[in-house]
Amino acid sequence: MFYTVVRAAAAVCARLFLRWRAYGSDNMPRAGGIILACNHTSYLDPPLAAISVTRHLRFLAKEELFRIPVLSGLITALGSVPIARGRLDRAGFRRAERIVRSGQALLIFPEGTRSPDGRLLPAEPGVGLLVLRTGAAVVPMAIVGSDRALPRDSVVPRPVKVTVRIGASISFPEYVGKPIDRQTAKAVADRIMQAIAALLPPDRR
């Protein structure tokens, strides 16, 4: 109920203040474990992703956010789970894997951090490993304008138009039953980023 109320309020604010529009929402499967992979340029991206699909999303969020009073309780109540950056977080990865295997929708940002200039960064291999371990399909999402609405050095959103585009899901049946290694995980991650790039304007790829 808390997630539903917050999501509805965020949608109203985004539509009025950011002229938010989402396209391709029907590409999000209505049920089953799924990974929603999105580009990342702003702290606005998680709520924008959540209001752009009808599924209740779980989120991977950097563990530092869970050390901030009040914010920690809020993002936990909204379904976020901590993940460490810059090192292999086995516990965080297992939590992510359990979420997908249990039939939920998990939002991840394959780049691992916000882009400093709005252009795509290379994907971390973790997203590829998660796909290979769970066998889940991936829905690519691209958000355009959030970095201008809330730049990295700002705390107050600006009234800038934001557009969200959701692509058709992609899967990787060719890897089923094959050994999982870093090279394969990186290849899968790169294909996911290509699908996200296809949803972005040329100057953001």
Domain CATH for 59: 3.40.1130.10
Per-residue confidence band for 195, with pLDDT thresholds at 50, 70 and 90: very high
pLDDT in tens, 143-177: 999 999 999 888 889 999 999 999 999 999 988 77
Residue 89, pLDDT above cutoff 80: no
Residue 75: predicted pLDDT: 85
For residue 187, give both structure tokens.
């290849």
pLDDT in tens, 17-75: 999 999 999 999 999 999 999 999 999 999 999 999 999 999 988 888 888 888 888 88
Query: Do 25 and 53 meet the contact criterion of CB atoms below 8 Å apart?
Result: yes
Into how many domains does the chain fold?
Answer: 1
Residue 68: predicted pLDDT: 87
Residue 86, pLDDT above cutoff 80: no
Tell me the residue range of the domain where 10 lies.
2-204
Nearest to 81 by CA among 63, 97, 68: 63
Sign of CA dihedral 194, 197, 198, 202: negative
Per-residue confidence band for 7, with pLDDT thresholds at 50, 70 and 90: very high
Residue 13: predicted pLDDT: 95
Residue 82: predicted pLDDT: 85
- This prediction has a pTM of 0.91
The mean pLDDT of the chain is 92
